[in-house]
Amino acid sequence: MLLKGQNRGMELLQRAIALNRIAPAYLFSGPDGVGRRLAAQTFASLILALDSDKLVVNCNHPDLLWIEPTYLHQGKLFTLKQALAESISRKTAPQIRIEQIRQIAEFLGRPPLVSPRYVVVIEGAHQMTEASANALLKTLEEPGLATLILIANSDARLLSTLVSRCQRIPFYRLTELELIEVLQEQGYSAIVSQPEIISLAQGSPGRAIALSEQLDQIPPELLTQLKSPPDQILSVFTLAKEVSQTLDTEAQILLIDYLQLYYWRSLPNPEIAAIWEKARQSLQYFVTPRLVWECTLLTVFEINYN
């Protein structure tokens, strides 16, 4: 099991497989996009193949249950992928819900079909509701033939009683050199030539790829116009209208992060950097997007031409 920048965690997992000493529960803790999901997928497959010559690295094994945060819509649960496919409004953050923890209990209530044990992966474990976390404790106290893998951004966002029952596998941000190597190896060399994305990724290849894909959704002409301070008052209001009508709030916040860094590289002015930060906070507090962009671009115009 090889993951660049994650030597310590991979050594712990490889030793567990080599010695066939699998802990009842693991906590893969660290930032998004650095390999936690891939590590869980591979480790789960290795566990399920301990007594078999067949290794299947996917989520379709009958003795593997993969849980991820969901949105509640009209009484039904939808993962992020399902919500996007169904164009379901996502006004609140997804959660690991009590119904999903009950699903785990039901899954573990039958004998394994193929392997000598089960594996349950809970992705986004830090997004468990309090009721879900308390229910999961009961399973962790008596896991039986199961191995549970919790994937979380931070130990601090989980109940301490949950953390104490898991063997922690740490995941770290990659160095910039490691980040670039991973992107090149995975066929994303074009991202390497975009220093703003590399900086915003903060050592996460997954985040770099996601940022690049999100920025590609922004009309190129609009992005080009925003990369330079407005040179006319009229263009301020035209740009503000186009951004607010073309992009959703999440995309607008990403755009602000990108522009803040881009402007700092080309015009290292603390005042302008503070303006972009204020715009970001305003959008997060649900201020009318068009008004946010009008005020921001107007202020940038005034600073640049005064």
C-alpha closest to that of 57 among 1, 116, 13, 118? 1
The string over 79-113, giving b where at least 16 C-beta atoms fall within 10 Å of a residue's C-beta and e elsewhere, is: beeebeeeeeeeeeebbbbbebbeebeeebeeeee
Each residue's pLDDT, cut to its tens digit, for the chain (306 residues) gives 568 889 899 999 999 999 989 999 999 999 999 999 999 999 999 999 876 655 554 567 889 999 999 888 777 887 778 777 767 766 677 899 999 999 999 999 888 888 888 999 999 999 998 899 999 998 888 888 899 999 999 888 899 999 999 999 999 999 999 999 999 999 999 999 989 899 999 999 999 999 999 888 889 899 999 988 888 888 899 999 999 998 888 889 889 999 999 888 887 888 888 999 999 999 888 889 999 999 999 998 888 766
The span from the CA of 166 to the CA of 130, in Å, is 18
Query: What's the pLDDT at 55?
Result: 56
Encoded tokens for 147 = 């191995």
Query: What's the pLDDT at 302?
Result: 86
Query: What's the pLDDT at 171?
Result: 95
270 contacts 304 by C-beta, under 8 angstroms? no
Encoded tokens for 262 = 């881009």
Helix (H, G, I), strand (E, B) or coil at 149: strand
Query: What's the pLDDT at 251?
Result: 86
Encoded tokens for 61 = 């094994």
Query: What's the pLDDT at 297?
Result: 93
The span from the CA of 201 to the CA of 77, in Å, is 30
Query: What's the pLDDT at 284?
Result: 83
Query: What's the pLDDT at 201?
Result: 93
C-alpha closest to that of 194 among 216, 217, 175? 216
Query: What's the pLDDT at 64?
Result: 94
Judging by beta carbons within 10 Å of its beta carbon (0-12, 13-18, 19+), is residue 286 exposed, middle or buried?
Answer: exposed
For the whole model, what pTM was predicted? 0.81
Residue type, 183: L
